[in-house]
Amino acid sequence: MDPGRAVTVRVDDAHVYFRVYEDPAAGIKQLFSSGRTARRYQTIRAVRGVSLDLHESETLGLIGANGSGKSTLLAAMTGLLPLASGKILGRSRPSLLGVSAALRSALSGRRNILIGGLALGFTRAEVESRMDEIIDFAGLRAAIDRPLRTYSSGMRARLNFAIATARIPDILLIDEALSVGDQGFRARSAERIDEVRSAAGSVVLVSHNMAEIEESCDRVAWLDAGALRAVGEPGEVVASYLDSDAAR
């Protein structure tokens, strides 16, 4: 790694905890014996003391078993999740790729482009001026006026990616979005990600596809039970991850 390269995001000893209420089979006896009515909860430590720097023109891969805290760390990097302790610093706010949560399955693809674009901070005029570009990028020209619920999951994912990258962000966080779509779409989306890097931005890529990680990342971080187990060269980190119990 080039040590002199500027930092775009700094994760400094970040902890993210979730409070999860238990779902006990409480009987009347317990209700009276416990004195107070506080419900029992469990604190899930999803991210435990992660420190990580992200640099200009870098793609960082984030790997780990299910439930190791990858998605939580990604969400925390946007500043959207409250931290239990630690800091997230950035030169601009990273954007998580994806607007699927904003989309309405009853409405057409075209209306969803409007809704998704507005959620991402475009004005109506900005969305409308990019409408054709987004439709073509998603390759959905024929289906664009059909309700979203008639789309296949691949078509939905393409639409989602096309809306989300309509404006190239400075720092892009991707949570397993690239393995969707056909060959042509994958090539186009890889191009978009290169655009971010060539504009001196940073990309974080969460994936279980190790070939994809090795192919597109400059550095890989391995997250294990909420803590960093290793950070370094993609080949080495992926190899030791695959050798470990976590990958089995």
Partner 1 sequence: MSDSGQQTDQPLVDLTRPSPPAAYLAEVWRRRDFAILVPVQDLRAQNMGSALGQLWHLLNPALMVAVYFLIFGVIIDTSRGVDNFLGFLIVGVVWFHLTQRVVQDAAVCIPRNLGLIRSVQFPRILLPAATVNGQTAAFAPALVLALAAVVATGERPSLRWLALIGVLAAQFVFHFGAALLVARIGAAVPDLRQLLPHVFRLLFYASGVIFSVDAFVTSESWRRAFALNPIYDVITCARWCLLGEPVDPWVVAGMLVWGVVLLVVGFAVFWRTDQRLGA
Name the site residues for partner 1 (rule: CB under 8 A).
Answer: 2, 5-7, 9-10, 18, 56-57, 75, 77-83, 87-96, 98-102, 104, 106-107, 111, 114-115, 118-124, 170, 197-200, 218
- 207 vs 241 by CB, closer to partner 1: 207
According to DSSP, residue 177 is labeled -
Contact 111, 124 (CB under 8 A): no
- 76 vs 221 by CB, closer to partner 1: 76
Determine phi and psi for 13, rounding to 5 degrees: 50, 50
Determine phi and psi for 185, rounding to 5 degrees: -70, -35
Contact 57, 213 (CB under 8 A): no
Q: What sign results for the dihedral spanned by CA atoms 203, 96, 105, 124?
A: negative
Helix (H, G, I), strand (E, B) or coil at 143: helix
What's the closest the beta carbon of residue 89 comes to partner 1, in angstroms? 4
- 5 vs 141 by CB, closer to partner 1: 5
What's the closest the beta carbon of residue 30 comes to partner 1, in angstroms? 20
- 151 vs 241 by CB, closer to partner 1: 151
Distance CA 162, CA 59 (A): 20
What's the closest the beta carbon of residue 227 comes to partner 1, in angstroms? 20
What's the closest the beta carbon of residue 174 comes to partner 1, in angstroms? 12
Distance CA 22, CA 4 (A): 48
- 45 vs 197 by CB, closer to partner 1: 197
Determine phi and psi for 81, rounding to 5 degrees: -105, 130
Amino acid present at 208? H
Helix (H, G, I), strand (E, B) or coil at 45: strand
What's the closest the beta carbon of residue 242 comes to partner 1, in angstroms? 26
- 10 vs 229 by CB, closer to partner 1: 10
What's the closest the beta carbon of residue 226 comes to partner 1, in angstroms? 17
